[in-house]
């Protein structure tokens, strides 16, 4: 890794810049080796500056939020990891129109706005991650998703362009947006909520949070749902039907509580989780002829 690049980034005063940062500190699975260079920009301007500095070096890079949808290789990530962290956790409001930084906690945003009686984000009760990640993945639950409330997103492209994309331009579909194809970063988002009955909105949020608490294993490090639902089937039901609940490989295990969750029960390695993922894929295909695709992103060191 270029010492010159590291020095250039550190001299640019863009935020935190370090070498060999363990990504186990930045993923909800608590798994992952080091990033060669790890950057936490402290503003959108710093994010732009970061991209301008790294581009001429032609090194691989990726952006992360709270790491709630990532399985990072035990060997770490080659190149540069840009984290939209706390310095990009801001919110501006004009009634039900909200502008939030890409690093803003999605659950926190939903909780604050529901307490003020705004409706539209109830589905986010219990969804980990950031606003930027929610746009990138079109995060959703309980019959709704980000595409239902997003007005526009401020997006940084690898070539340095910073543009606003409308809801339509983001080409949302199930757990997918155009940003995934174009490797663009959602720096901030504008959403539109409706005034609702405060008590009803808060109750709905609590219901979704309680449902997650009762049905999903948040007492162990995990990354939420591992597989996309192969509609009309549900991933968890297929895995349970196949008798794989509780299946263990090394320090990782298919949750006894929810079969579409793999939990880190004892210092699991990425290889342990990957072993389970492959076992599930093969078993479900052999038994039911159904192809299982992961919802979590698997990041291997090249």
Tokens of 119: 């409706």
Which residue out of 62, 66, 99, 175 is catalytically annotated? 175
Task: Give the count of beta carbons closer than 10 Å to the beta carbon of residue 110.
Answer: 25
Q: Is 295 one of the catalytic residues?
A: yes
Which residue out of 48, 295, 297, 301 is catalytically annotated? 295
Strand-strand pairing, 61-64 and 77-83: parallel
For residues 175 and 14, give the distance between their C-alpha atoms in angstroms, rounded to a whole number.
31
CB-neighbour burial class of residue 11 (10 A; exposed 0-12, middle 13-18, buried 19+): exposed
Which residue out of 68, 105, 119, 225 is catalytically annotated? 225
Q: What is the DSSP string of 152-197?
A: EEEEE-TTS-EEEEETGGGT-BTTB-HHHHHT-EEEEEEEE-EE--
Q: Is 214 one of the catalytic residues?
A: no
Q: Is 225 one of the catalytic residues?
A: yes
- Cβ neighbors of 54 (< 8 A, separation 6 or more) are 5, 9, 61, 80
Active site residue ranges: 175, 225, 295
């Amino acid at each position: 890794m270029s010492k010159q690049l590291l020095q250039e980034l550190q001299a640019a005063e863009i935020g935190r810049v370090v070498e060999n940062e363990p990504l186990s500190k930045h993923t909800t699975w608590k798994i992952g080796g080091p990033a060669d260079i790890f950057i936490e920009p402290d503003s959108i301007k710093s994010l732009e500056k970061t991209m301008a500095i790294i581009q001429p070096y032609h090194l691989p890079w990726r952006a992360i939020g709270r790491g709630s949808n990532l399985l990072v290789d035990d060997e770490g990530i080659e190149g540069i990891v840009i984290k939209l962290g706390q310095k990009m956790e801001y919110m501006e409001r004009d009634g039900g129109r909200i502008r939030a930084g890409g690093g803003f906690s999605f659950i926190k945003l939903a909780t604050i706005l529901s307490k003020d009686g705004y409706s539209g984000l109830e589905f986010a009760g219990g969804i980990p991650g950031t606003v930027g990640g929610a746009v990138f993945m079109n995060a959703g639950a309980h019959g709704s998703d980000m595409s239902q409330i997003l007005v526009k997103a401020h997006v940084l492209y690898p070539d340095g362009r910073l543009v606003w994309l409308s809801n339509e331009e983001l080409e949302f579909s199930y757990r997918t947006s155009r940003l995934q194809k174009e490797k663009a970063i959602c720096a901030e988002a504008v959403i539109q909520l409706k005034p609702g009955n405060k008590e009803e909105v808060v109750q709905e949020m609590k219901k979704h949070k309680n449902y997650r608490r009762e049905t999903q294993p948040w007492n162990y490090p995990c990354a939420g749902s591992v597989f996309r639902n192969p509609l009309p089937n549900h991933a968890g039901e297929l895995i349970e039907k196949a008798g794989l609940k509780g299946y263990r490989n090394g320090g990782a295990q298919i949750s006894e509580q929810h079969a579409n969750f793999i939990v880190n029960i004892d210092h699991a390695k990425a290889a342990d989780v990957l072993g389970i993922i492959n076992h599930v894929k093969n078993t479900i295909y052999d038994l039911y002829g159904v192809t299982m695709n992961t919802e979590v992103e698997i990041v291997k060191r090249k």
